[in-house]
Amino acid sequence: MAGDALKLTCKVNKVTMNIKWKKNSASYIPRANIGPRLGDESTLYIKNVVPDDSGVYSCEAHNMAGTVSSTVKITVRGKPLNMSRLWTI
């Protein structure tokens, strides 16, 4: 829901050399804060999401054996209006 926080975590194994986050296949995710890798995890965080943050997010893990990825589709909906406030007299 718009205004909420989004936190995605990617768990990898110890031999993973590189982790890349993508949104809709693009490497640049303007509103995302991607934290440093801590052990076997990488985290993508967006504070106060908006509908434009909707999309397909992926985490790609690279090592000498190759590349694997995991994806999730995120849909951000606007908050419902409080109709009682609109009609207060």
pLDDT at 80: 67
pLDDT value of residue 66: 94
C-alpha separations of 64 from 15, 59, 71 in Å:
8, 17, 21
| Whole-number pLDDT of residue 53 | 97
| Domains assigned to the chain | 6-86 (2.60.40.10)
pLDDT digits (tens, 9 = 90+) for 13-60: 888 989 999 999 999 999 999 998 888 999 999 999 999 999 999 999
- Dig out the tokens for 49 from the structure: 């999401």
